[in-house]
Amino acid sequence: MSTAEKPNQQLSQGLENSGSLARYLERNASKADAADIFQESITRVLEQSRQQPIQNPLAYAFTVARHMLMRLKATAADPVDELICQRANPEEQVSQQQTVALLEQALQQMPALRREAFVLCRMEGKSRSEIARAMQISDDAVSKHVSRALADIQRLIDQHRSR
């Protein structure tokens, strides 16, 4: 078996129980939405598998489907007639401003590589491999930088709350 066929076979084997995904979607969405979400989930698994191997394709498809269901339910739960004001109330605005200030403070305190990896990943939506190539580091190093950045931010938020 060629090396190109092996990932495809693994992917096919990983998706062979996709009927459970279809049943899950049918229980949680309309028939039409379930079919659309199923198709989109499998498509995303196939697209992602071209970029990097997926250990558990069915679990990945379930994750994609759950996120799509949440978005579907969120949009269905917000009828236009019930939306009165898009602006946050004054307390929420102050809270958001404080959160932004804490994030800015955390970013300023981070080492340059950690900050760059975090900004590229979480704020610009770049993939790990794109960031690794741009920064000339490994994918694992990108993951560690982003994880440590998140830990730094959480630590600063926790310190702020304990005051």
- Check whether residue 97 and residue 39 sit in a common domain: no
Please indicate, yes or no, if residue 134 is contained in any of the structural domains.
yes
Burial classification of residue 38, based on how many CB atoms lie within 10 Å of its CB (0-12 exposed, 13-18 middle, 19 or more buried): buried
* 68 and 100 inside one domain: no
Same domain, 29 and 59: yes
**Domain endpoint, select from 76, 101, 116:** 76
Query: Which tops the pLDDT comparison, 50 or 84?
Result: 50
Cβ proximity of 130 and 119 under 8 Å: no
Same domain, 94 and 72: no
Last residue of a domain, one of 30, 50, 76: 76
If pLDDT is split at 50, 70 and 90, which confidence band does 1 have?
Answer: very low
Into how many domains does the chain fold? 2
**Is 28 in the same domain as 69?**
yes
User: Is 83 a domain residue?
Assistant: no
CATH code for the domain in which residue 112 is found: 1.10.10.10
Given a cut of 80, whether residue 146 has pLDDT beyond it is: yes
| Tokens linked to 106 | 């955390």
Select the highest-mean-pLDDT range: 51-60, 88-97, 104-113: 104-113
Looking at the fold, whether 62 and 108 belong to one and the same domain comes out as: no
The CA distance from 35 to 68, in Å, is: 12
For 16, 20, 42, the CA distances from 69, given in Å and listed in that order, are: 22, 16, 14
Task: Please check whether residues 100 and 146 belong to one and the same domain.
Answer: yes
**38 within domain boundaries:** yes
Give domain status of residue 126, yes or no: yes
Q: If we measure between CA atoms, which residue out of 110, 112, 119 comes closest to residue 148?
A: 110
94 shares a domain with 61: no
Asked if residue 95 and residue 34 are part of one domain, the reply reads no
- The model's pLDDT over 23-49, given as tens digits with 9 standing for 90+, comes to 888 888 888 888 888 888 888 888 888
Asked whether residue 108 falls in the same domain as residue 157, the answer is yes
Range of the domain at 125: 90-161
Domain presence at residue 115: yes
CA distance 46 to 60: 10
pLDDT of residue 136: 95
Query: pTM score, two decimals?
Result: 0.46
Residue 56 within a domain: yes
